[in-house]
Chain A
Amino acid sequence: MPESDTVTSSPTLRGAVLVSAGVALLLLTTWLIFNWTPIEVTQGVIQRIYYVHVPLAWISEGAFGMTALLGILYFWLRDDRVDAAAAVSAEGGLFTTAGLLVVGPLWGRVAWGTYWSWDPRLTFTLLLFFLFLGYFMVRGAISDPGRGKRYSAVVAVVGALDIPMIHMSVYWFRSLHPEPVVLRPEGPNADPRITVTLLLAAVAYSLIFAGLWWLRYLTERAERERRAPSHEAIPGVTS
């Protein structure tokens, strides 16, 4: 078998390739932000936080949505691989939501004059972080692993109601947070270079997230196999 086939057939390397592609695209995006994308007229330089803030928000909501969908699937199939995938999505989402809750206040300090406001969208996003935490707390607090998986799936499914609340809160309530610029029915209303840079940043972060998700999924499966030694090891992760 040619060497290239061996490389691409390794599950671990597949994840590493996705992460590397994402990092390369993120470097390119960073260059575009400072050399090609115009500075937004009203806010000035601080608007560049947008290219980190929005991708982290999209990924956080996507991760929790994925956790909820996999939770529903777990109730149907009772397959441990589905539960592992759900738990990995929640873990990734916990990281990105934590990042989002640091980046957002930096922007808010300049745009609104305060790091934090109990604005509906900010509050629902903080709730999303606590839902991710709650998902793992429920799982860890129950000694029976089967019940822990089912109960945490319930947290994910019920908690997923927070995702439309985050998106719609700027329309439903009086809010400091601006309305969507890209995800709106009429289409994006920013300079095309701003939209292109944002979409590239979103793809870059998504590639990194997908690669890490896959690597974490492999390790999660391997750890579960290790705890139940009668099964075969997962190729590509275990020695």
Chain B
Amino acid sequence: MTRDELFVFLAMAVGWLTMAAWAFRIARKINRLSRGERPD
């Protein structure tokens, strides 16, 4: 794999991870709410 190909894969991973990070934060909040815990 060349450096350019590696950077393309890294960029695509960052795109996915950006959305996944926000989804993870939301999932934690839904989990806390559904357990009746106090919000952050």
Asked if A pairs with B, the answer is yes
Q: How far is the CA of A29 from the CA of B17 in the complex (A)?
A: 16
Q: How far is the CA of A163 from the CA of B12 in the complex (A)?
A: 24
Q: How far is the CA of A26 from the CA of B25 in the complex (A)?
A: 21
Interface residues on B, range: 20 to 34
Is A107 interfacial (CB 8 A cutoff)? yes
Known: A45-B4, A98-B18. A103 touches B11 (CB 8 A): yes
Q: How far is the CA of A226 from the CA of B25 in the complex (A)?
A: 18
B22 with A216: CB separation less than 8 A? yes
Interface residues on A, range: 35 or more
Chain A min CB distance to B5 (Å): 6
B22 with A205: CB separation less than 8 A? no
Residues of the A chain whose Cβ atoms lie less than 8 Å from the Cβ of B17: 99
Interface residues of B in 1-40 (CB under 8 A from A): 2-5, 7-8, 10-12, 14-19, 21-23, 25-26, 29-30, 33-36, 38-40
B19 with A215: CB separation less than 8 A? no
Would you call the interface of chain B mostly helix, strand, loop, or mixed? helix
Interface residues of A in 76-93 (CB under 8 A from B): 91-92
Is A129 interfacial (CB 8 A cutoff)? no
Q: How far is the CA of A92 from the CA of B23 in the complex (A)?
A: 10
Chain A min CB distance to B33 (Å): 5
Q: How far is the CA of A26 from the CA of B13 in the complex (A)?
A: 12
Chain A min CB distance to B22 (Å): 4
Identity of the chain A residue whose Cβ is nearest the Cβ of B6 in the assembled complex: A106
B12 with A223: CB separation less than 8 A? no
Residues of the B chain whose Cβ atoms lie less than 8 Å from the Cβ of A154: none
Binding site for A on B (CB under 8 A): 2-5, 7-8, 10-12, 14-19, 21-23, 25-26, 29-30, 33-36, 38-40
